Structure 1
Amino acid sequence: MSYYKPKFQHPKLPKNELGYTVADYDGAVSTLCAGCGHDSISGAIRNACFLSAIPPHRIAKLSGIGCSSKMPTYFLGKSHGFNSVHGRMPSVATGASVANRDLIYLGVSGDGDTASIGMGQFVHLIRRNVNMTYIVANNGCYGLTKGQDSATADLGSVGKYGVKNPFDGIDLASLAVLQGASFVARSFSGDKEQLEPLIRAAMAHRGFAFIDVVSPCVTFANNVGSTRSYAATRDNLDAMPIDFVPMREEIRTQYKEGSSQTVTLHDGSIIHLHKASRKYKPDSREDALMALQTANRTGKVLTGLLYLDTDSQDLNHTLALATKPLNSLGKDELCPGSRVLKSINEGLR
C-alpha cells in the first residue's frame, strides 16, 4: 500500500522571508515505526530549514544505511540527495563539498552507520573539518537487523532479549570534541524547543558541525532495563509478529537550562536528561570533555551546545580551493594552456 501527501496547501500558511511555507520543506510520508523519535528529528530539520529561510535547492542531504539513513526521504523533498553505502557517507560528503562549496551539506546517520562500520571515515571527516552538519540519530541498537546492541549502547543496558551489554559504549559527542570538531552538540528527539535551534546553528556554522541526538528505538529498546528505552509496548508484544508495532503517542519533554529532567517511558523505564546551563562556556574543549564525562558517571545525558570554535576554518579554506564550484568551471579554466602550465611547474621547482 502506498501513501501520498496531498499537494494542496492552505492559502494562509505562514511564509518565511523567501516566500516558502513549511510544506515546501516536506518529504515523503514516513515508513518508520509509529512513534519513532527519528520522525521528530526529521520534523526538527524541516522546521529549522524553514525558519532559517534556506532555499531547499541549496541543501544536499547525505546518508548511509540504517533506519536513520532513511530519514532524508521524509524531509526536504525538493533538495539534492545521495544515499551512500553503509558507513561511507563521509567520503561522499567530502568529495561533494570540495566540488561545490555553494551547497549546504546535511548528513544524517545512525550509531551503527557512524560508530561501527563508519568510524574510520567519521574520524577523518572531523579531522578535515568538512563544512557540513552531521546528525546522528542515536538509539543504541540496530533497528534494521532486529535490535542488536550497537557500539553506543551503554555498559549494562539490557537488550530486548534480556542480555546485558558487556561493553562500554562509545560516546560520540566526547569523541567529536576530542578529535577536533568545531561544533558539537547533543539533544533529545523529544525536545523540539532545543533541537531546532541547535540544527539552525549547526547549518550556519563554517566547518564540521556534529549533533548527537538521543532517539530511542520504539521497537527493539522496549524493555525495562534498557538505558535508551523509548518503548511502545504491551505485555504480549513479544508474542506478536515482529513487524507489527502498536501505535503509541510520542513522548515529548521541555525543561529549563541547567536543570535535570526525568522522563518516564511507555514501558515504565526512566531516562535522566540534563540540559547545560547558560553559564556553561562552550569554547573550551577541556571543559566540554569534563562536563560530558561527569554526566556519564552520574548516568545523565548532557544536552545543549557542548563545544563551539568560533574561528573555525573549513576544508576548502585549508586547501585553498577555488571559490567557484568545480562542476561549473569552463574549458578555458580547466585547460588554460601550456603557458599557464609552464608557470605552475616553474613555481614548483
Structure 2
Amino acid sequence: MSYLKPLFSHPKLPKNKIGYTLKEYEGSLSTLCAGCGHDSISAAIVRACFELSIEPHRVAKISGIGCSSKTPTYFLGNSHGFNSVHGRMPSVATGANMANKEMVYFGVSGDGDSASIGMGQFVHVIRRNLNMVYVVMNNGCYGLTKGQDSATADQGSISKSGHVNPFQAIDLASLAIELGASFVAQSFSGDKQQLIPLLKAAIQHQGFAFLNVISPCVTFNNNPGSTKSYDYVREHIEATSVLDFVPHQEEIKTQYDEGKSTRVELHDGSEIQLNKLSMDWNPEDRVSVVSALQNAREKQEILTGLLYINTEWKDLHGTLNTTKTPLNRLKEEELCPGTEALNQINIGFR
C-alpha cells in the first residue's frame, strides 16, 4: 500500500487571502486506525489555519510520544515540526518560543503524554503562560501499548478487556484553570462546527491556550461502558455556548438562537461571540467555570465549548520583558554590550 498523496489537484480549488488552497495546509496520509478521532482534530487544525490565512512556514508543531504525537505529520506539512521525547514537549516549545516569539506554536499531546509522564512539564508551562496552542487529544487510554487506562480514564469506565477503572480521573481542563491558563476550552473530535472556531480563537489568543479534546480510540476504547466512546460522548455532551469566531476588521454575518449573548475581545481586536446556554457560567469568571465543571461532572456530563478566557494576563515574554526583536534575530553588537557596559553591570552587584 502506498502512503503518498497525489501531487495534482483541481485547478479551481478555493483560495484564502494569501492565495493558498487547503491542500497547502495538509500533511502526509495518516497511518492511524481508520475512524480515529485524532484525524478529525488534524483536519480541524488544517481548516482553522487555512481560514485564518496563516502562512504555513510561520507555524511550529511540537509533540511528545503517543498516537496523538504522531499527528503533526498529518497536518501542515509545509510548516516546522519537532517530535520530542515522552512528556517533554513543553520544554522544547518553551525554548523555541523564547528564541522566536513571532511563530505560531502548536503543542500536540495526549492524555498519557500530559497527564502522566509529562504532568510536571504541563503544570509549569501553564503557570508561565507561554504563548502557544496546547491540544490534548484525550482518549482515556494508551493506544500504542494495547489500550491500558490512562490517568484521564473516568472512575467506573470499562475498558475493552472488561476491566473497571477504580481510580478518579485527572480533569485536565479544571487543572489548567486552577493553574492559571488564560484560555481553556473543551470539545469533541466529532464536532468540527465547535472545534474549528475554538482553534481559531486559541491561535489568536496571546498566552497559553489549552484545548482538551475528547477523541475516541476506535480500537481500544470505543466499547460499551467506556466514557470516551463515540456513543457515550454524543449522549452526554453539554455545550457552554454556541460560538463563532469573528475575524478582526472583517464583516461576518451570523444568526444566533434566542438567548443571552456576549462578545469576548482578543488581543488583536478579533472577537469570540458566545450565545450563552448555561445561565450560571461566565467565561471570564474562574469560580463560575470551576463550579459549572463540577456540576457537569456530578451529572456525568461533558461540558464543551469555551470554558475560561483572560485577556489581561501577560504571556511569558511580557512577564520577562524580553526584547521586541526575536532573540534569534539579534546580532553580536546587540547581544554583547561591550567592556564598559559590562563593568558598570558588575559594579552594580558589588
Q: TM-score, normalised to structure 1's length?
A: 0.87
* Matched residue type, 1:318: T
**Correspondence for 1:86:** 86
Encode CA deviations 1:144-181: one digit per residue, 9 max, x unaligned.
Answer: 00000000000000011101000000000000001100
What is the count of residue pairs matched by the alignment? 313
Mapping of 1:273-284 within 5 angstroms?
273-277=237-241, 278-279=275-276, 280-284=281-285
Partners of 1:348 and 1:212 lie apart in 2 by 46
Q: CA deviation at 1:35?
A: 0.4
The 3-state SS of whatever aligns with 1:60 is strand
**Correspondence for 1:327:** 328
**Correspondence for 2:17:** 17
Partners of 1:107 and 1:133 lie apart in 2 by 6
Q: TM-score, normalised to structure 2's length?
A: 0.87
Encode CA deviations 1:263-302: one digit per residue, 9 max, x unaligned.
Answer: x37xxx9741111132342001101101111111101100
Does residue 46 (structure 1) correspond to residue 50 (structure 2)? The answer is: no
Partners of 1:300 and 1:110 lie apart in 2 by 21
**Correspondence for 1:77:** 77
Answer yes or no: is the 8 Å Cα contact 1:133–1:203 preserved in 2: yes
* Matched residue type, 1:49: C
Partners of 2:162 and 2:58 lie apart in 1 by 46
Encode CA deviations 1:228-259: one digit per residue, 9 max, x unaligned.
Answer: 123xxxxxxxxxxxxxxxxxxxxxxxxxxxxx
* Matched residue type, 1:290: S
Partners of 1:194 and 1:348 lie apart in 2 by 54
**Correspondence for 2:236:** 272
Q: CA deviation at 1:324?
A: 1.5
**Correspondence for 2:170:** 170
Partners of 1:141 and 1:303 lie apart in 2 by 20
Answer yes or no: is the 8 Å Cα contact 1:227–1:271 preserved in 2: no
Percent of residue pairs bearing the same amino acid type: 65
Runs of 4+ in structure 1 deviating by more than 6 angstroms, as ranges, are: none
Report the CA distance shift for 1:165/1:36 in structure 2 as closer, same or farther (over 3 A).
Answer: same
**Correspondence for 2:338:** 337
Partners of 1:270 and 1:210 lie apart in 2 by 22
Mapping of 1:1-349 within 5 angstroms?
1-230=1-230, 264=231, 271-277=235-241, 278-279=275-276, 280-348=281-349
Partners of 1:212 and 1:348 lie apart in 2 by 46
The 3-state SS of whatever aligns with 1:109 is strand
Structure 2: gaps of 5 or more residues? 242-274
Answer yes or no: is the 8 Å Cα contact 1:228–1:271 preserved in 2: no
Encode CA deviations 1:41-95: one digit per residue, 9 max, x unaligned.
Answer: 0000000000011100000001000000000000000001110000000000111
Answer yes or no: is the 8 Å Cα contact 2:216–2:222 preserved in 1: no
